[in-house]
Structure 1
Amino acid sequence: MERMTGPDALMLNMETPSTPMHTLKVAVLDTSRRGRVVTLAELREVLPGYLGRFPRATQRLEYLSGYGARPFWVRDKDFDIDAHLDEMVLEAPGGRNELDAVLADLAVRKLDRTQPLWALTLVHGLADGRQAVVIRVHHAVADGLAALNTFMAATSLPGQQVTPAPIGSLNSGHDARGLFRAARSESWKLLRGVPTVVGDFARAAHVKRNATGRGRIPKPLTVRRNSFNARSGAQRVCASGDIPLASVQRVALATDTTVNGALHGIIAGAKRAELLARGEEPGISVTVFGVCKDLASTRTEGNEIATAAAYLRTDLADPVERVVETAASCEATVRRRRDLGFDLTAKVATYTGRLGPVFRAVAAHRAPLVMNNITTANMPGPRETRWVGDIEVVDWISFALAIAPADVNLTAYSYAGRISMGLIATPESMPEPAEFIDRVRESLAEVETALGIGDREPVATQDVG
């Protein structure tokens, strides 16, 4: 048993009736080599032999009176694999649109908080006889890096096998009095640590004042709403697609930026085109994305990220200038985030408990100024497809969270030579999400044309982060 960390609890407490806080991880399977499809009965039999590798898979929440902001993780002695599995069949013809429609439904199907916070849906009926495994996992369990590491641990390179890790005994209970003692002891430690947190704030203020390129970093709550910040409800829409990783690498090299900066410059072009199509003046937009504490970490649980805000130069008509200026803002904000460190973010989340979600709920649909217009994420993934025995995972797509007032969230993972994109939004803020994915592709083509690099050979692999 262990107490939920502040960052994990923040993700738990942010959930409301209209704000689901689980993410979607989608693995598209090609079972042609084995000659038969995966069945739900097969998953029911096989999964318990591997879930021991992932402790959160068999842990549930235990709340204590007076300490509800951060519950404990305890072993679920009543764990039942059947409660976490279901299946569905896509409508014909089983393409991207049909899969995205199912994902939009799963995005609002909340997880049962009396059980471990994950669920798996086996989807049949994809084109070419393929299937999809869609895992809903609460953000309190894992951030993007932890989810990627889980995927890597659950799959292998071709010809290799994943080592079994059975669940083991679930009968060991927990001592309620011991939990109360642990919670009280931690509360006293937090109280004694207040002066240290005050000092951390002072040091953070000094870092911000002296940050290199601070003029390229948006200040909090200075961003005006646009139609990406529309008042919204509980419904979600999803769209998925990909662009060649080598193309984005070429743009990065040609503009002397990082792949992350180049990708955000391309997204800026898509957002500019979207706003113009809606009859809006583009102006400058702001994105918020997470910066991982340690990209080399192999952890499969927890949230060890801190947010950073960057300008998307949607105001610039020239595609190359747009990429260069957007990338410069991304670089400046990531550098400052790493200079600030991650400890203060974790401490603030631990102390504030439920206050952050309350403030967000008040401001979500009322404040004229917001933190950002769109949320993005960009993670480096495997360079070749992963396998589960003789089953090839031909695609890996991640969908994060649509949280008001920034209800549009585009998550990108590199996978086997492509940048796979998962867009989740509310229909009020993004009526046609598939069209926005197309705009990303068009923006990439526009930048390549402007740079004169569209027909060059792929370049050597460059870091995505």
Structure 2
Amino acid sequence: MEMLSALDATFIYLESEHSPMAIGAVYVIDADEAPAGFSYDAWYALVKDRLKLSKVFRERLVEVPWDLSFPYWIRDPGFDLDNHLPRVRLPAPGGMAELMQLAADTWGRVLDRDRPLWDITFVEGLDTIPGISKGSFGLVTRVHHAAVDGKASAETMAAILDVTPEVRVVDDEDTWEPEELPSTLGVITRSWLNVGKKARELAGFVGQVAADSVSLQGEKWVKKIEPPPRLLSAPPTIFNQPVDSKRTFWGKNFDFERIRAIRKVVPGATVNDVVLAICAGGLRRYLSTRDELPGKPLVAMAPISVRGDEEGAGNQVSAMLVNLATDIDDALDRLLHIRSSTKRSKVHAGALPANRITEFLPSETLAAAARVYTRTRLGGHHRPFFNVTITNVPGPPVPIYAAGARVHSAFGMAPILDGLGLILVIISYYGRISIGISSCEEMVPDPDYMAECFEHALAELELAISRVDPAKLSSVLKTRHGETPETSDPLQAFRDASEALDRAIKTLED
């Protein structure tokens, strides 16, 4: 038995019928890039062979009576792989809309807590997706957020997938053995044994945080940095209401080189800054067309993985708040403001790791607070903590394969809550970056249109950079940020991306 961390347990306590707490992804597999004989049976055999590579696959939850402690994971004595690998066929015409709807419907259902909290749906009948062969396949994954964070979820899928068309042979012996379900008295006794351990850990944790905070405040350069946005400082938006149970989802790919070309123009900017600027521009456009754009800038929460190489499953995250500058009309100016905001937030996010602060709250207190918050739908009736979550899950820069079939695209999903009804999952994979849009029917009934708004925002940013005078850009950067471009002509990298610019202008003209 292994006790969940406080952060992992919070995802159990927050779950409700209208807010399932699973994360997942849609993987699209082109039939033309699948080996002969690729089928559900081949996929089933592969997963069965890889179960031994991750404990997540065969562990189920055991909850403690009266929430006297956080729940436990045990090796499931009733594990049956058939319960975790459903098979479906898309309804006609088998296009992107049908695939996205299937994924949304799947993620709108709560996982059965009497089983390991995951499943992977094998989808057949992808017949009319642009750029994909008729008769292609898909995988819709789902795993409870209590079991993994975004990075660990990707690593769990990596246990099943390969980086070559050849299916690797896993020779490791499967030493897994099931555990008996513990008695009520057994879990209560074990829970109380953890109280003293937590008390000892608390003293060390408080001391470390205090030392980190004092060190941070003592740095003269930190005092000159404007603090990042605060919790509850975000303006109310249509995304910050009670969520309904009908999920909406859409995924869209972007050429990584287009984003990299923009990054090279602005010194100190990161790929993440550019992606945030694309999201900001897209959200500004989407809200404007609905006459719902607030005068104050939107605030995004961006989870930061603090997972070490040996951390295993579970959630290992901190977080930063970022001003998305949606009150700024100029796309380049918006990027510069976001770039500055992320730098400030990274500095101030370091002293207090989110994955540790909840560890020392009494379990019954944390459970009661989370459940009251969920059941009363309180989240949609106070000023938002922030407006949108934008999480970045790094994927492999090389192709990945499922039972020998190359994965063409990957689109990520994460759960929404009352008051936090929009989450954007960014996945980088093999020369592309995808944005997965997760929301509900009440807030974002047209996620495909929001995806087009992101495409427009990228094109708008490309166009803004292409038209700026290099000397003016240097002056702006030096005046506002005390910096100069990496080269005498900061637009040279962008000129090299003329093909991307042509696409941008065409998009704007359309």
Partner of 1:141: 147
Q: Report the CA distance between 1:318 and its aligned residue.
A: 0.7
Partner amino acid, structure 1, of 2:421 = D
Partner amino acid, structure 2, of 1:50 = R
Partner of 2:35: 34
Correspondence 1:414 to 2:425: no
Q: Distance in 2 between matches of 1:450 and 1:377?
A: 26
Pairwise mapping of residues 343-354 of structure 1 onto structure 2 (< 5 A)? 344-345=356-357, 347-348=359-360, 353-354=366-367
Measured at CA, do residues 324 and 77 of structure 1 come closer, stay the same or move farther in structure 2, by a change above 3 Å? same
Is the CA contact 1:381–1:415 (under 8 Å) kept in the aligned structure 2? Answer: yes
Aligned-partner SS, 1:364: helix
Return the index of the structure with the highest Cα Rg: 2
Partner amino acid, structure 1, of 2:332 = V
Partner of 1:366: 381
Correspondence 1:456 to 2:496: yes
Pairwise mapping of residues 249-398 of structure 1 onto structure 2 (< 5 A)? 249-256=260-267, 257-282=269-294, 283-294=296-307, 297=309, 301-341=313-353, 344-345=356-357, 347-348=359-360, 353-358=366-371, 360-361=373-374, 363-367=378-382, 369-398=383-412
Between stretches 197-206 and 41-50, larger displacement belongs to 197-206
| CA deviation string 1:181-222 (max 9, x = no partner) | 432111122245555555566557657766566535111112
Aligned-partner SS, 1:264: helix
Partner amino acid, structure 1, of 2:496 = R
Which stretches in structure 1 are left out of the alignment for 5+ residues? 460-465
Is the CA contact 2:209–2:352 (under 8 Å) kept in the aligned structure 1? Answer: no
Q: Report the CA distance between 1:379 and its aligned residue.
A: 2.3
Aligned-partner SS, 2:65: coil
Partner of 1:98: 98
Measured at CA, do residues 266 and 44 of structure 1 come closer, stay the same or move farther in structure 2, by a change above 3 Å? closer
Partner of 1:462: none
Pairwise mapping of residues 13-24 of structure 1 onto structure 2 (< 5 A)? 13-24=13-24
| CA deviation string 1:12-59 (max 9, x = no partner) | 1110121110112222223434234412x4444442221011112111
Partner amino acid, structure 2, of 1:232 = V
Q: Distance in 1 between matches of 2:465 and 2:448?
A: 26
- Runs (4+) off by over 6 Å: none
Pairwise mapping of residues 159-198 of structure 1 onto structure 2 (< 5 A)? 159-164=165-170, 168-173=175-180, 176=183, 179-196=187-204
Aligned-partner SS, 1:237: strand
Q: Report the CA distance between 1:91 and its aligned residue.
A: 2.2
Measured at CA, do residues 348 and 411 of structure 1 come closer, stay the same or move farther in structure 2, by a change above 3 Å? farther
Measured at CA, do residues 222 and 171 of structure 1 come closer, stay the same or move farther in structure 2, by a change above 3 Å? closer
Partner of 2:75: 75
Between stretches 306-315 and 192-201, larger displacement belongs to 192-201
| CA deviation string 1:204-250 (max 9, x = no partner) | 76577665665351111122211121333211100111111111111
Is the CA contact 1:155–1:162 (under 8 Å) kept in the aligned structure 2? Answer: no
Q: Report the CA distance between 1:74 and its aligned residue.
A: 0.7
Partner of 2:479: none
Is the CA contact 2:77–2:181 (under 8 Å) kept in the aligned structure 1? Answer: no
Is the CA contact 2:256–2:432 (under 8 Å) kept in the aligned structure 1? Answer: yes
Correspondence 1:404 to 2:418: yes
Between stretches 99-108 and 447-456, larger displacement belongs to 447-456
Q: Distance in 1 between matches of 2:379 and 2:72?
A: 29
Partner of 1:239: 250
Give me the TM-score of the superposition, normalised by structure 2.
0.82
Between stretches 357-366 and 9-18, larger displacement belongs to 357-366
Pairwise mapping of residues 148-159 of structure 1 onto structure 2 (< 5 A)? 148-159=154-165
Q: Report the CA distance between 1:142 and its aligned residue.
A: 0.8
Partner of 1:53: 53
Partner amino acid, structure 1, of 2:431 = G
Q: Distance in 2 between matches of 1:104 and 1:343?
A: 28
Q: Report the CA distance between 1:437 and its aligned residue.
A: 0.8
Q: Report the CA distance between 1:395 and its aligned residue.
A: 1.4
Measured at CA, do residues 2 and 344 of structure 1 come closer, stay the same or move farther in structure 2, by a change above 3 Å? closer
Aligned-partner SS, 2:97: helix
Q: Distance in 2 between matches of 1:451 and 1:212?
A: 32
Aligned-partner SS, 1:421: strand
Is the CA contact 1:69–1:353 (under 8 Å) kept in the aligned structure 2? Answer: no
| CA deviation string 1:358-395 (max 9, x = no partner) | 4643531211x111111111122111211134211111
Which stretches in structure 2 are left out of the alignment for 5+ residues? 128-132, 467-490, 500-510
Q: Report the CA distance between 1:319 and its aligned residue.
A: 0.4
Q: Distance in 2 between matches of 1:162 and 1:342?
A: 37
Q: Distance in 2 between matches of 1:392 and 1:146?
A: 22
Aligned-partner SS, 1:338: coil
Measured at CA, do residues 205 and 428 of structure 1 come closer, stay the same or move farther in structure 2, by a change above 3 Å? farther
Q: Distance in 2 between matches of 1:207 and 1:373?
A: 31
Pairwise mapping of residues 199-218 of structure 1 onto structure 2 (< 5 A)? 199=207, 202=210, 206=214, 211=222, 215-218=226-229
Identical residues among aligned pairs (%) = 24
Measured at CA, do residues 349 and 329 of structure 1 come closer, stay the same or move farther in structure 2, by a change above 3 Å? farther
Correspondence 1:219 to 2:230: yes
Partner amino acid, structure 2, of 1:12 = I
Is the CA contact 1:3–1:70 (under 8 Å) kept in the aligned structure 2? Answer: yes
Measured at CA, do residues 95 and 145 of structure 1 come closer, stay the same or move farther in structure 2, by a change above 3 Å? same
Number of residue-to-residue matches in the alignment = 456
Q: Report the CA distance between 1:353 and its aligned residue.
A: 2.9
Give me the TM-score of the superposition, normalised by structure 1.
0.90
Is the CA contact 2:151–2:394 (under 8 Å) kept in the aligned structure 1? Answer: no
Q: Distance in 2 between matches of 1:456 and 1:238?
A: 34
Q: Report the CA distance between 1:397 and its aligned residue.
A: 1.7
Q: Report the CA distance between 1:267 and its aligned residue.
A: 0.8
Is the CA contact 1:18–1:233 (under 8 Å) kept in the aligned structure 2? Answer: yes
Q: Distance in 2 between matches of 1:359 and 1:9?
A: 15
Q: Distance in 1 between matches of 2:165 and 2:63?
A: 44
Q: Report the CA distance between 1:92 and its aligned residue.
A: 2.5
Between stretches 388-397 and 371-380, larger displacement belongs to 388-397
Match of 1:438 among 449, 452, 460: 452
Is the CA contact 2:56–2:313 (under 8 Å) kept in the aligned structure 1? Answer: yes
Q: Report the CA distance between 1:409 and its aligned residue.
A: 0.6
Q: Report the CA distance between 1:299 and its aligned residue.
A: 5.1
